[in-house]
Chain A
Amino acid sequence: MLRKGITESFGAAIHAFNTTQLTDGVINRSKRMMLDTLGVGLLGTRTAVFNKALTYSQLFMSHESSSVWGKSEVNLPPHYAAFVNGIAVHSMDFDDTWHPATHPSGAVLPALLALAETLPSQPSGLDLLLAFNVGIEVQGRLMRFSREAYNIPERFHPPSVVGVMGSAAASAKLLGLSPAQCTNALAIAASSAGAPLANAATQTKPLHIGNAARRGLEAAQLAQRGLKGNPAILDMNCGFGVYYKDYSPSAMAVPASSDFKWILEDQDVAFKRIPAHLGMHWVVDAALAARAKLENSVRNFDLSQIRNVTLRVPPSKYVDCPFPATEHQARHSFQFNASSALLDNKVTVSSFSETQINRPALKELLSKVKVETPKDNLPSFDKMYCEVEMETDQGQRYVARCDTFYGHWRKPLSQKDLVEKFSVNASSVLCTEGVEGVIDVTGNIERVRECSILGSYLRMTSSQHEQLYSTRSW
């Protein structure tokens, strides 16, 4: 068994990270991620999957408990708070996406906030920010160990692979574990990794993030208690390498100086404008553009004039769903998202309700859609494009292409739009004071003395009935 010391280097690095390594660039980007994650999480606390998980989690009792976002009176054992809040974050597929592909924040932030609430001495906002970034960095590092990770997944759902490791790393950091304990946290977490992709596009997918958060936290706590795993877990093909067909790990340099190069600084995340799989954003933008072309050239434009629609997309089976039957399938359907965009001239949170999915006009449009996967359209969030071509009854063709949607890392959401997305999401659950409080605290997190204040804002629910999803169109 050849030990190249890679795992130990990770353990040492996690232990060694300190706040002087946080650069302005990474602070800025990670604060945006935190805000977005909290917003989508809050909105997610009103979903069916969240409620099922919450009811289940309430079977457990504990001495110490942590808050459930958007619920002023509910507490859960910390692991289960991390679990349900993580599920909320991913419940609508509205959370951030990175390259190589994963949803990094949902696996980390819920675990950290749940953990922070139980610590005898409250961590500062800066401590939280550091731990968060450690959790993101570790995920980024791990994904760079294989070429397979760079493409849209086919086997394991990435958040279930790297997310639990990120959660373990971040939790270990916040707990102040020793280098050896950090190493063990990663080893223990690896045995909790790896959920197959088949559950994407189902109601269970959000549990991948919820479980990543929960089980990473648990791994760190077991390590703190002295549990040991394989100290070469990252080094070995039969360790972390089992999740990849090609696997080439490398060590992590201990961040000694203050000019540590965070991956997040090199590679930003994408924030979603639509609660759907990232690939849908390209097809929606292309569809909207094609529709505009059609509208501009045809007086009295009417959708029934469309004879057929061709989508040119990258090959990815789990988002190729011609007739989605559930909200989860709809969020993972090129066809559905293109058709919704064409029909409504927008795709929003409310586009995925059962009534909307079952509209006859939508189904009719869906029956006219076909999908092509051109050879030059690579299944990678960094390289893909989407093209939408409509042919009318008159034989006219309207084509539009999207290479980079607004919100992608190449074209990031403006701060204003990011905050607005948060406000719209959070207002469905929190009162104004809560909404503004979260924006304020997150925006100034590096100056916040005790990060528990964030938790109190997250529970300032509004007493009115929640606003049914915003009609703001993107």
Chain B
Amino acid sequence: MISKLQKTIRPVWAVRGLHKSAVEVLRHPAPEDTVTASFGKFISEVKPQHLSSVVLHRSKRMVLDSIGVGVIGSTTDVFELALQHCQHMYAPDDISSVYGRRGTRLSPTLAAFVNGVATHSMDFDDTWHPATHPSGAVLPAVLALSDMMSANSKPSGLDFLLAFNIGIEIQGRLMRFSNEAHNIPKRFHPPSVVGTMGSAAACARLLSLDPSQCSHALAIATSLSGAPMANAATQSKPLHIGNASRLGLEAALLASRGLEASSLVLDSVTGVAGFNAFYEDYVPQPLELSNDDGHMFLLEEQDMGFKRFPAHLGMHWVADAAASVHKILVGFGPGTVSPAQVQDILLRVPKSKYINRPFPDSEHEARHSFQFNACSALLDGEVTVQSFTPAAIRRPDLLALLSRVRMEHPQDNPANFNSMYGEVQVTLVGGDILKGRCDTFYGHWRNPLTNESLRKKFRNNAGAVLPSEKVERLIDVVEELDRLGDCRALLSQLQ
């Protein structure tokens, strides 16, 4: 047994750069004292009663929104491609449902994959701070796994919701280990880093793994994490969420079979990178369950952002700013805005290469273009699902406006979803200058969508594919989720 002296040395492990080779050679931290072990313990031991009413409420909104965007996502090309790939490479399996496709079922990890792809296919899914898209990585896996569990041991709605919240919580905790995570990403696409871990955590909980297995699930998932930003704004981006969901589930299943991995994967070990491989700065903290009934889930301190239109979160600021200019312009003269009126458009936005695209070529690029979204909103007064169709992207009026856009990156506009703003300044041909500014768009966590607005978005999305009775039933079931004895009521409505 390692002596009590260990405990005084332990905190030192978490701080990088400290020369401690002599200590390292002789000792290891007691297994239960590591950050990695604390995460495993939390996943295994947190209880449903730790979910406060705020967290229950907020997470149910996330579940509803995620299903809605997933269902409408089942109409996209990339989803079709992913589904056909799975159906071609694998035999049909009667297990886990595919969003929006009546009668189509796949093996659990494959269903998690395609449903995850659907969820992120239009960049319509939720966004958190620090930045990631948390639900799309977790919900498809939890649904698929629930489908897999035998009929007489399906999770209750509360178990389901707890697993989901664990998946979200783990992501939030991991992102707080680095300053880098707080800004709009430049290197690794966050859902591919923390999403896989969240999925693994949620699935480990649903599988009732013990603390050690939960830790191993996280460690196995780490080796499956990490995709470069360069594939954002391409057709491959949705696969980042699909794979996060799938591979996290896979990690949990492998852990349940006894596969083991590094027991220090979340800790910071000099010379051997673990989860910190994905970050330039990294200071891990143990995740502790307090002795009393309370655990403050991060979702309680930090709410979720929901999108009003299917594009990168940053677009919402410029769209709202441009929309206010549109309103003024339309007030001036005829009911539409014409490029002929506009001489120059100046956007003041944060500096971020992958959302700075003057002439987007594809729907994926358009969803990641300050310029495109500003001009769309200027022209139409809003950005919607229809703004990204091939025809809409190629409108001559839009292209005309795009050619008049200039960008500025003010020092006081950081690339951070908590602090950024969007300003649109339009110089009219006559010389008048109109300005619009948005500090907090409607849907941001500081100005959350009302339940009414959230349901409207859901009805528009899910209703594009499912019959309205199923749409309404889903709204009811999710509202009641924590009181459902059996989550099958949810599972049966998704296609």
Contact = CB atoms under 8 A, between A and B. Distances in A.
Contacts of A160: 223
A199 B89 CA distance: 29
A238 B229 contact: yes
A226 B269 contact: no
Contacts of B189: 191
Contacts of B240: 191
A156 B277 contact: yes
Contacts of A230: 230-231, 233-234, 236
A176 interface: no
B235 interface: yes
B187 interface: yes
B84 A233 contact: no
Interface stretch (A55-63, A138-146, A465-473): A55-63
A191 B243 contact: yes
B236 A191 contact: yes
Nearest to B186: A238
Interface size class of B (residues with CB under 8 A): 35 or more
B273 A221 contact: no
Nearest to A184: B236
Contact of A60 (B26, B90, B259, B269): B90
Contact of A190 (B26, B223, B230, B253): B230
A154 interface: yes
Contact of B228 (A52, A190, A196): A190
Interface string B206-238: 000000000000011011111111110111100
A187 B260 contact: no
Interface string A208-239: 10010000001001100111111011001011
Contacts of B277: 155-156, 194, 196-198
A198 B231 contact: no
Question: Interface centre among B26, B222, B239, by most A CB within 10 Å?
Answer: B239
Contact of A55 (B81, B243, B257): B257
B272 A154 contact: yes
A227 B243 CA distance: 15
Most buried by B among A204, A221, A229: A204
Interface in B235-273: 235-236, 239-240, 243, 250, 253-254, 257-262, 264-265, 269-273
If over half of A's interface residues share one DSSP class (helix, strand or loop), that class is named, otherwise mixed; here it is loop
Contacts of A201: 262
A192 interface: yes
A334 to B, nearest CB: 12
B275 interface: yes
Given A62-B90, A203-B261, A233 B222 contact: no
Interface stretch (A93-101, A316-324, A434-442): A316-324
B274 interface: yes
A59 B107 CA distance: 8
A77 B91 CA distance: 9
A381 interface: no
Contact of A195 (B25, B81, B223, B270): B223
Nearest to B189: A191
Contact of A78 (B78, B89, B278): B89
Nearest to A77: B90
Contacts of B89: 62, 77-79, 218, 221
B36 to A, nearest CB: 9
Interface string A51-92: 011011001111100000000000001110000000000000
Contacts of B93: 60-61
A198 B234 contact: no
Nearest to A208: B223
Given A59-B107, A79-B89, A192 B230 contact: no
B219 A198 contact: yes
Highest count of chain B CB atoms <10 Å: which of A156, A191, A197: A191
Contacts of A60: 90, 93, 107, 110
A50 B462 CA distance: 42
A204 B84 contact: no
B85 interface: yes
A2 to B, nearest CB: 11
A78 B91 CA distance: 12
A229 B365 CA distance: 12
Nearest to A63: B91
A204 B224 CA distance: 11
Contact of B273 (A52, A56, A196, A315): A196
A187 B234 contact: yes
Contacts of A445: none
A458 interface: no
B354 interface: yes
Q: Interface centre among B89, B110, B239, by most A CB within 10 Å?
A: B89
A240 interface: yes
A62 B261 CA distance: 29
A242 B257 contact: no
A196 B222 contact: yes
Q: Which of B78, B254, B264 has the largest number of chain A CB atoms within 10 A?
A: B254
Most buried by A among B84, B259, B354: B259
A196 B275 contact: yes
Given A196-B223, A204-B262, A242-B228, A187 B236 contact: yes
13 contacts: A56-B257, A63-B90, A198-B222, A198-B277, A199-B220, A199-B222, A202-B262, A218-B85, A227-B236, A228-B234, A229-B231, A238-B229, A242-B228
Interface of B: 25-26, 78, 81-82, 84-85, 88-91, 93, 107-108, 110, 186-189, 192, 219-220, 222-231, 233-236, 239-240, 243, 250, 253-254, 257-262, 264-265, 269-278, 353-354
Closest 10 CB pairs of A and B: A317-B271, A239-B230, A198-B274, A191-B227, A195-B223, A204-B261, A196-B277, A229-B236, A61-B91, A155-B273
Interface of A: 1, 49, 52-53, 55-56, 59-63, 77-79, 154-157, 160, 187-188, 190-204, 207-208, 211, 218, 221-222, 225-230, 232-233, 236, 238-243, 315-318, 320, 322, 371
